[in-house]
Amino acid sequence: MFNWLAGEMSVTPPAHVAILGLGLIGSSLLRRLVALGTAVTGYDADPSTLELAALEAPVAGSIADAVAGADLVVLAVPLPVAGAVLDEVQAAGYTGLLTDVTSVKAAPRRLAAQHCPGARWVGGHPMAGREQSGFAAGDATLFDGCAWVLTLEPDTGVADWLRLASLVAGIGARAVPATADEHDTAVARISHAPHVVAAALAARAAEGEAGSLALALGAGSFRDGTRVAATRPALTAAMCGGNAAALRTELDTLIDQLTAARGLLDDLDALADWFAPGHIVRAGWPPEPGPAKERPATREELLALGRAGGWVTAVAADGQSVTTVVPESP
């Protein structure tokens, strides 16, 4: 039935994965792939990280050695050094699938086109942060059930997207199709703005003579509302600065919302009405997953799936269809 691309669409998951950068995300993926028995090679610019990694998995001493023989390269370095690493991948003559795990998607897409045009780019972002970072914080179970965005642009091959989706679904994550711009708008809302707010609330709590008492009284709303402020400032800054345009819109919106709430503090009914939409959203989140459903594996179907809040859980071997889940409406 879905055979309009038969012949060019058979999906073979990546057979040999190179992971460049073994921080929290890279080392978690390394551990997960080792546990699954997938051929994988790790690389990190830091010799002591590489030494630790060698105790758990095959590693290479250079980027060129790491990508030799790989049919998927995962760029798992901070955005500020991504361009330099991509130059080395290009210099090594790599021409296979290339993805990343960065928390923004438009910026690395531009970098890949500029620094590593020989490879086939599909941007990636597992929504699985943690306030600890580094190799030691990695965990093979980090991606269980997490949303893992894979970008699908007009110039992305659907077969390439499906290959990566097959890997992502195979490690137990939810492969979410989205354009880089759709992703960046979404994460500015649900991750970057919350990071800015968390830092502001934490810094303010401690200020001046009232600070010690305030910190002593901090309970659930402070603990949870500021948790991500414990992340290293350089990482948070790279993430937020890498998505400046979308985040600027969110901060403007947030300032408007706070200004509106500020004007209602003396009117309890109006203030309760102001709190209602957030209550409805959060009380219904996360929604229940709906039943699994087969869909044709076309660009349009996949992008519509992502916009509906859905994800891919399996890819048919012939590349003609995907198994998908969409959240139940509350």
DSSP codes of every residue in 41-66: EEE-SSHHHHHHHHTTS-B-SSHHHH
Nearest approach in angstroms of CB 293 to a second copy is: 16
177, containing H or E segment: strand 174-178
In the bound state with a second copy, the residue whose beta carbon lies nearer, of 15 and 279, is 279
DSSP 308: T
Sort residue 230 into left (φ over 0), alpha (ψ -120 to 50) or beta.
alpha
Nearest approach in angstroms of CB 328 to a second copy is: 12
Q: Does residue 196 contact residue 251 with C-beta atoms inside 8 Å?
A: yes
- How far apart (Å, rounded) are the C-alpha atoms in residues 255 and 239? 20
Q: What angle do helix axes 268-283 and 244-262 make, rounded to 10 degrees?
A: 140
Nearest approach in angstroms of CB 90 to a second copy is: 24
Nearest approach in angstroms of CB 314 to a second copy is: 18
Nearest approach in angstroms of CB 56 to a second copy is: 25
Nearest-5° Cα angle at 258, 253 to 260: 95
Looking only at Cα atoms, what is the longest distance across the chain? 71
In the bound state with a second copy, the residue whose beta carbon lies nearer, of 118 and 227, is 227
In the bound state with a second copy, the residue whose beta carbon lies nearer, of 30 and 188, is 188
Nearest approach in angstroms of CB 76 to a second copy is: 17
Q: Does residue 88 contact residue 116 with C-beta atoms inside 8 Å?
A: no
Nearest approach in angstroms of CB 181 to a second copy is: 10
In the bound state with a second copy, the residue whose beta carbon lies nearer, of 123 and 194, is 194
In the bound state with a second copy, the residue whose beta carbon lies nearer, of 58 and 278, is 278
In the bound state with a second copy, the residue whose beta carbon lies nearer, of 1 and 282, is 282
Residue 75 bridge partners (DSSP): 20, 100
In the bound state with a second copy, the residue whose beta carbon lies nearer, of 91 and 215, is 215
Nearest approach in angstroms of CB 153 to a second copy is: 15
In the bound state with a second copy, the residue whose beta carbon lies nearer, of 53 and 140, is 140
CA distances to 25, 35, 56, 170 from 32, rounded to whole Å, are 11, 5, 11, 10
CA neighbor of 127 nearest in space, from 192, 201, 34: 192
Q: Phi then psi for 238, rounded to 5 degrees?
A: -65, -40
Amino acid at 238: A
